[in-house]
């Protein structure tokens, strides 16, 4: 079932995002009087094709990894004299600039639409209440304590743990003060805490912003009674069964599932002993934990799970907006995520953020499937983030991308004439090399995560 969600989720995501992006180019090209020869979603062998009254061929092709809009252009073939007016290369710099920029702009508008819809539908979020603070951690040094609710970070309101994590991600690799606005549990007084950062998590391959500060979110107590087993995991191989209650893990008594998670996480690849209660009898099991991740991100893996506990009503909040207010929220989130994407790319370039965080098609497919399986809200959120990423990446000033073409047009506007075909050719070759290199790096990262 998971594989089915992954396939369907990926096809829907790519289909929507690519179609919308290319439609942006198509719509503006038509408005500028350019003749569009083909509108293709996907590459390779056409599966479905049809023509409209203006002669444009619409195609759905076999390889759903992109798309393109082919326009009449003298640089790509002979154009009949009576059709020269509709050639792309005959249009003004401003018109060509508008046509090329319309694709990324369409992605930002699509993200805005998804964020607007999410704001109107509303979400239920867990209040960012601190459950525990690690001794000696950055959070403890700043004065954060169990029971504090995090109201804002660096002046931005945090309605739930997702927004807390998002605000912390913005500070990865940075130095300076991180400002937390907190409130005591059940209290009304607020105060500001300063967390001192020094090249915080710079270059970390799999950063855990919340955990690295020493913060453990509050969670309802969950009994360590096994409810799920990975058939290929260490727990199942050692004979652990559904219904078993864990009493000790590697010599440490456990009364809550979170204690099990923390103990296992710190012992990747280690042989351990479990004491369990089964049918009223105590017995021990020996096993070797698997490991997930690499380097500092390496974590132990047991291959067992439990049924989640019930969240008390006071720890949950419903966040929704009216149709008008949702427009502002959509704009805010679109702008915020666009800046975060650009900032992350800059940090990767300068080494503040590890390039291991770059994801390729495999990770995108996995996240698409997981978000589709989680529900409409999560899937829309994923689509919005992916649409913004597609828009930002396409605007990078790299030849072969939309941003590269815009750079050429900007230079043409300043100089009064275009760059020579030779110079543009060099740029295209460099751009292709860069794009292929980044794609290969992302694919290697994907394979490493597997």
What pairing do the DSSP bridges indicate for beta strands 215-217 and 190-197?
Answer: unpaired
> Which helix (DSSP H) or strand (DSSP E) does residue 43 occupy?
strand 36-51
CA distance 295 to 292: 10
Sign for the pseudo-dihedral over CA of 36, 39, 44, 46: negative
Residue showing tokens 């992006």: 21
What does the block give as tokens for 128? 């960012």
Helix boundaries (H) for 229-322: 234-238, 257-265
Other Cβ atoms closer than 10 A to 218: 19
3-state secondary structure of 72: coil
Range 150-159 contact pairs with CB under 8 angstroms and sequence separation of 24 or more: 150/180, 150/181, 150/182, 151/181, 151/182, 151/183, 151/190, 152/180, 152/181, 153/178, 153/179, 153/180, 153/181, 154/178, 154/179, 155/179, 158/128, 159/125, 159/317, 159/319
3-state secondary structure of 276: strand
448 burial level (CB within 10 Å; 0-12, 13-18, 19+):
exposed
3-state secondary structure of 118: helix
End-to-end CA distance of the chain: 19
Other Cβ atoms closer than 10 A to 285: 17
Q: Which of 22, 149, 205, 329 is catalytic?
A: 22
* Residue partners of 106: CB distance under 8 A and separation at least 6: 20, 21, 23, 24, 391
Active site residue 273: no
Scored b (16 or more CB within 10 A) or e, 362-373 reads bbbbbbbbbbbb
Give 3-state DSSP helix, strand, coil % of the chain, rounded to 5: 50, 25, 30
CA distance 195 to 138: 6
Q: Could you list the active site residues?
A: 22
């Amino acid at each position: 079932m998971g594989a089915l969600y992954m396939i369907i989720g990926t096809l829907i995501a790519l289909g929507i995002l690519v179609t919308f992006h290319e439609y942006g180019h198509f719509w503006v090209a038509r408005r500028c009087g350019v003749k569009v020869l083909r509108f293709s979603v996907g590459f390779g062998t056409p599966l479905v094709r049809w023509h409209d009254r203006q002669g444009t061929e619409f195609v759905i092709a076999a390889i759903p990894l992109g798309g393109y809009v082919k326009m009449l252009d003298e640089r790509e073939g002979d154009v009949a004299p009576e059709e020269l007016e509709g050639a792309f290369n005959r249009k003004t710099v401003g018109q060509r600039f508008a046509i090329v920029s319309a694709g990324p702009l369409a992605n930002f508008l699509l993200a805005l639409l998804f964020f607007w819809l999410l704001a109107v539908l509303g979400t239920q979020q867990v209040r960012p209440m601190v459950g525990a603070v690690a001794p000696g951690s950055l959070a403890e040094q700043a004065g954060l304590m169990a029971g504090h609710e995090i109201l804002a970070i660096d002046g931005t309101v945090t309605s739930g743990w997702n927004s807390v994590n998002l605000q912390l991600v913005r500070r990865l690799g940075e130095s300076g003060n991180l400002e937390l606005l907190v409130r005591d549990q059940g209290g009304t007084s607020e105060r500001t805490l300063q967390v001192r950062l020094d090249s915080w998590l710079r270059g970390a391959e799999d950063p855990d912003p919340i955990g690295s500060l020493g913060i453990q979110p509050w969670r309802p107590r969950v009994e360590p009674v096994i409810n799920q087993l990975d058939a290929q995991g260490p727990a199942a191989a050692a004979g652990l069964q559904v219904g078993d209650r864990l009493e000790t893990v590697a010599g440490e008594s456990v009364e809550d599932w979170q204690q099990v998670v923390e103990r296992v996480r710190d012992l990747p690849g280690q042989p351990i002993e479990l004491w369990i209660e089964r049918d009223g009898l105590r017995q021990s099991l020996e096993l070797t934990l698997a490991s997930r991740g690499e380097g500092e991100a390496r974590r132990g893996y047991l291959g067992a799970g439990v049924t989640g506990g019930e969240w008390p009503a006071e720890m949950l909040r419903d966040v929704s907006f009216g149709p008008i207010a949702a427009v502002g929220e959509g704009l805010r989130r679109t702008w915020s995520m666009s800046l975060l994407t650009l900032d992350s790319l800059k940090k990767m370039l300068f080494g503040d953020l590890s390039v291991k965080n770059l994801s390729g098609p495999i990770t995108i497919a996995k996240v698409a499937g997981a978000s589709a399986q989680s529900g409409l809200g999560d899937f829309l959120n994923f689509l919005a983030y992916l649409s913004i990423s597609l828009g930002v990446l396409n605007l990078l000033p790299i030849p072969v991308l939309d941003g590269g073409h815009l750079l050429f047009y900007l230079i043409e506007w300043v100089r009064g004439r275009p760059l020579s075909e030779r110079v543009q050719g060099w740029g295209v070759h460099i751009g292709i090399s860069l794009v292929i290199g980044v794609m290969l790096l992302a694919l290697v990262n994907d394979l490493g995560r597997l």
